[in-house]
């Protein structure tokens, strides 16, 4: 059996190679030579090997058994089990080498070697630093939607978070930070919503009563959602968005081990024992301290509630919290600002019960949720505003029972 291309075979041109008088007088000899050529052309025999040698120099054509030599030449320190498509990997391995030490290189390695994922946490970001407080000042606008002209009311407030809006009349521009829920049904046919506006982002002067247009958004906003009008612009006093600057807050003192500038944490479903040796050899930047954390990722449906999901290996992936806010603020409805952090975007509003308790149904519109961030959430105050008083209140862990 030969894999030689037909036009490269010697055996088929034997007749032409041998003079006619010999072919005529010694047919057996010709057949013998032809048979010998066929032997040489057999796969693995000399002529076949020599003729196919150029294929060996092409990684897309080389036989699988010789791929190891490509690995030894171009990716000697990469484990043999790398990638399902080794040929593709070798052709792109230089990009991996050039990016070593970056998050992208870790993600690539986890994906191709361990068929897993990795996230990053830098303890340095939680170190208490003097004068590191951020001071934010926001405006709260009530936005009116005339549903007589809209097919749907604004029940997808999430779409308006981090959106760039423009006043149709004034031409002024601003960015939204959060969007309040729809608890208010003030008058028939009109809905009112709360937009939290980053005051620093306001360019120009919006006027009450002018229509708004979303001109940029990370989300695709249906055209039927666009009839928005500014009702009233309230200005909130400034506030600190988090407790990072407070000694009583979540920040940590530098400990020259975990909490220092040169440490990083790999968060993966894998045990650190599995990937540490590879990371140390291949990706870990010398001088840094690497930690590993096992994270548990649970696939959950979008409209789930806490208790029915129970626990996962001792952790509660969802929090079903009863909130007992400051009674002074339970005059009207509470609107929860949408909360952002690295992994979770809380999409559900807070429901007000008749008994004065608010229930928080926090879940994510992403498919995964990492339990450690529930803890983060509890340590990070959530801002509310009271639609009656237009005052801002802060809900902290002290208001929440799990």
Partner 1 sequence: MASNIAVTELDFATIKQNIKTFLRGQSEFTDFDFDGSAISVLIDALAYAAHITAVQANMSFNEIFLDSATLRNSVISRAKELNYLPRSETAAQATVNMVVADVNDPSSINVPKGTKFSSTIDNETYIFSTVTDQVLARVTAGNYAGDVTVYQGEYQQSTFTVTSIIDGVIQNKFVIQDTNIDTRFLTVDIEDTKGASSFSWVITDDITDVSSASLTFYLQEVENEHFEIYFGAGLIGKQPVVGNYITTDYLVTAGVDGNLVNNFTLISTISSNEVNYTPNLFTVTTVDKSFGGRARESIAEIKVMAPKYYETQGRAVTVDDYKVIMLKQFPEIETLSVWGGEEEIPAQFGKVFISVKPIYGTTFPPTTLDEMEIYMQRKNIVGVTSEIVSPQLIYVNIISVVKFDGQSTTQTEGQIRSLIQTTMFDYIDNQSEVFDQGIDFSPTISKIDTIHDSIESNITAFSLSHKFIPSTTVNNDYQFDYANVIDPSSVVSTWAGVDTTTAWELKDDGLGILHIYKDGILFLSNAGGVDYAGGIINLSNFLPDVATNTTFSLTVSPISNDLLSRRRALLVAGDMTGINVYDSSKVGGSFEAILFNDLTDAQKAALGL
Q: Using CB under 8 A, list all residues that contact partner 1.
A: 31-32, 35-36, 38-40, 42, 44-47, 49-50, 53, 56-57, 66, 68-70, 72-77, 94, 97-98, 100-101, 256-257, 260-263, 280-289
Closest CA to 201 of 234, 175, 236: 175
Q: Report residue 373 as tokens.
A: 């961030």
Closest approach, Cβ 380 to partner 1, in A, equals: 28
Work out how close the CB of 165 gets to partner 1 at its nearest, in angstroms, rounded to a whole number. 39
Q: How far is the CB of 38 from partner 1 (least distance, A)?
A: 7
CB of 50 to partner 1, least distance (A): 5
- Report, in Å, the least distance between residue 35 CB and partner 1: 5
**Closer of 73 and 398 to partner 1 (Cβ):** 73
8 Å CB contact between 284 and 133: no
Cβ proximity to partner 1: between 35 and 186 the closer is 35
Complex with partner 1: residue 38 or 91, whichever CB lies closer:
38
Residue 378 phi, psi (nearest 5): -65, -25
Q: Which is nearer to partner 1, 96 or 374 (CB)?
A: 96
Contact call for residues 315 and 142 (beta carbons, < 8 A):
no
Spatial CA neighbour of 384 closest among 364, 400, 368: 400
3-state secondary structure 163-188: CEEEECCCCCEEEEEEECCCCCCCEC
Question: Which of 10/173 has CB closer to partner 1?
Answer: 10
- Listed residue (280, 346, 108) closest to 395, CA to CA: 346
Contact (Cβ atoms closer than 8 angstroms) between residue 30 and residue 15: yes
- Round to whole Å and give the CA distance between 169 and 139: 19
**Minimum CB distance to partner 1 smaller for 185 or for 262:** 262
Smallest distance, partner 1 to C-beta of residue 110, A:
16
């Amino acid at each position: 059996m030969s894999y030689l291309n037909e036009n490269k075979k010697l055996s088929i041109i034997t007749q032409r190679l041998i003079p006619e008088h010999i072919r005529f007088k010694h047919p057996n000899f010709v057949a013998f030579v032809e048979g010998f050529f066929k032997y040489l052309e057999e796969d693995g025999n000399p002529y076949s090997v020599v003729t196919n040698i150029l294929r060996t120099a092409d990684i897309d054509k080389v036989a699988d058994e010789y791929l190891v030599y490509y690995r030894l030449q171009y990716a000697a320190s990469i484990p043999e089990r790398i990638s399902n498509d080794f040929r593709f990997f070798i052709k792109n391995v230089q990009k991996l080498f050039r990016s070593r030490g970056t998050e992208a290189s870790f993600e690539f390695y986890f994906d191709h070697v361990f068929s897993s994922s990795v996230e990053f946490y830098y303890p340095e970001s939680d170190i208490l630093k003097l004068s590191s407080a951020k001071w934010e000042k926001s405006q709260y606008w009530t936005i009116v939607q005339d549903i007589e002209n809209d097919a749907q009311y604004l029940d997808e407030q999430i779409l308006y978070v981090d959106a760039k809006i423009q006043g149709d009349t004034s031409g002024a521009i601003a960015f939204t930070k959060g969007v309040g829920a729809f608890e208010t049904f003030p008058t028939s046919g009109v809905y009112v919503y709360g937009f939290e506006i980053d005051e620093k982002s306001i360019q120009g002067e919006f006027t009450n009563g002018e229509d708004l247009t979303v001109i940029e958004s990370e989300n695709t906003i249906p055209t039927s959602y666009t009839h928005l009008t500014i009702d009233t612009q309230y200005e909130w006093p400034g506030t600190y968005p988090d407790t990072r600057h407070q000694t009583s807050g979540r920040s940590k003192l530098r400990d020259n081990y975990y909490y220092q500038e040169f440490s990083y944490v790999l968060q993966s479903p894998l045990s650190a024992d599995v990937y540490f040796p590879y990371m140390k050899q291949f990706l870990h930047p010398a001088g840094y301290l690497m930690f590993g954390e096992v994270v548990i990722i649970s696939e959950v449906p979008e409209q789930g509630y806490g208790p029915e999901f129970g626990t996962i290996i001792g952790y509660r992936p969802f929090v079903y919290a009863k909130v007992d806010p400051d009674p002074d603020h339970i005059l009207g409805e509470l609107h929860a600002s949408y909360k952002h952090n690295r992994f979770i975007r809380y999409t559900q509003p807070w429901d007000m019960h008749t008994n004065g308790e608010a229930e928080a149904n926090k879940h994510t519109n992403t498919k995964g949720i990492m339990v450690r961030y529930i803890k983060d959430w509890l340590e990070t105050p959530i801002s509310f505003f009271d639609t009656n008083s237009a005052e801002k209140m802060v809900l902290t862990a002290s208001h929440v029972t799990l």
